[in-house]
Amino acid sequence: MIILALNCGSSSVKYKLYKWGQRNTLTKGIVERIGVGGPPDHRTALQQIISTLTEGENSVLKDLSQISAVGHRVVHGGEKFKSSVLIDDSVLEVIRSVQDLAPLHNPPNIMGIEAAKEVLPNIPHIAVFDTAFHQTMPEYSYLYPVPYEWYGMYGVRRYGFHGTSHLYVSRRAAVLLEKKPAETNLITMHIGNGVSITAVKNGISVDTSMGLTPLEGAVMGTRCGDIDPAIILFMIEKEGFYAEEIDAILNKKSGLLGITGKYVDRRDIEKAAKEGDKRSQLAMEIEAYRLKKYIGSYLTALGRVDAIVFTAGAGEKNWKLREDVLTGLEKFGVELDKKLNAKTSSGEKESLISTAKSPIKVFVIPTDEEIVFIEDVVALLEGRYATHTHFTYSFEDPNYKKPKKT
């Protein structure tokens, strides 16, 4: 059984082609910087991926008929979906109905589903939702202090995102700690173009930084994260912005881009900062400071924390960001080994970067959202799937090794 996992993010498309019976990754890759000097849209990126799989000297398939099913990342499922589901017209319609809650993500997710279904119309397509992992949050965590009727009428609540990433790294952290997931308290930090931090208590999500939409939370590539809501009203009064204009500014022109005025990619920001660009230096300071504050709030929310986990692009590769975030937390039980941390910048392997005596361990765990997609897809096809709170993944085995490309 060959499964194609597609992860259409806001600025990239990651893919993995996996042979389930042999537990082999046939190939994987990423098309980056979509809308930032790369392919013009996600449909073009998908066409490029299909060509890579079937054409040229590096192709791995004779034809597309060898693919048994496709697993699709879908960022926002609202309250409708608490687990992965087979995509039909009604499911696609629900995904469309909440796309205004994830304006940078659900549209490319939908585009990826539609394009893949056009190319592969006769096989199952399965949606794996970012929001599903966070459906375990208690009411006091996910409800906002706004008129309660908004929740009943419009579903206004915290949903949380990057769920498959937080699920994967939290289960892997439990393995590294030699504990069962249900015995493990963690702060998991997914730091890519989008950023989210999750408080994991006894193996499940109890709070997370993103909210009704992926706009809330930490400073991100182009998203503002937490701000005073009155800023929106203030700027509407000053500039006369329409709703769609302010939405575009907060989602696409803020965050690191808003501060620097030039850059989205942290590699560009770090280079400019080293060359003396003051606004790039400021962007790095603001980002680290905001992340540090989230760690502090979740330390108090959880009470006991076994480990802090960094993952995703910058979380895995940006040692300087990790050092800036963790410096000063020694009094709370977080002791970073700066030499180990500086050596951990490839995103290739799981690493412990705290000192041997640190009460709270710090791990860098490369995320693998696609293997979550694949295992959900296979379990659904085989009729043995359950919600993540009652499902054991292969990567929870202490002897699990990441599949190597054949």
Axis-axis angle for helices 106-119, 89-97 (nearest 10): 160
Query: Nearest Cα to 209, choosing from 137, 148, 113?
Result: 137
Query: CB neighbours (10 Å) of residue 236?
Result: 14
Cβ-contact 175, 142 below 8 angstroms: no
The Cα–Cα gap between 66 and 58 comes to 16
- The token pair at 239 is 């500039």
- Element containing residue 163 per DSSP (H, E): helix 163-176
The Cα–Cα gap between 166 and 77 comes to 16
Query: CB neighbours (10 Å) of residue 247?
Result: 16
The Cα–Cα gap between 257 and 381 comes to 42
- The token pair at 270 is 């770090």
Active-site pick, 41, 89, 100, 130: 130
The Cα–Cα gap between 32 and 12 comes to 4
Cβ-contact 50, 64 below 8 angstroms: yes
Angle, vertex CA 274, rays to CA 366 and CA 325, nearest 5 = 45
The Cα–Cα gap between 134 and 145 comes to 19
> What are the CA-CA distances from residue 344 to residues 51, 194, 323, 347 (Å)?
34, 21, 11, 7
376 classed as catalytic: no
The Cα–Cα gap between 159 and 76 comes to 8
In 134-176, the DSSP E strands lie at none
Query: CB neighbours (10 Å) of residue 286?
Result: 15
- Which DSSP state fits 14? E
Which residues carry out catalysis?
Answer: 130
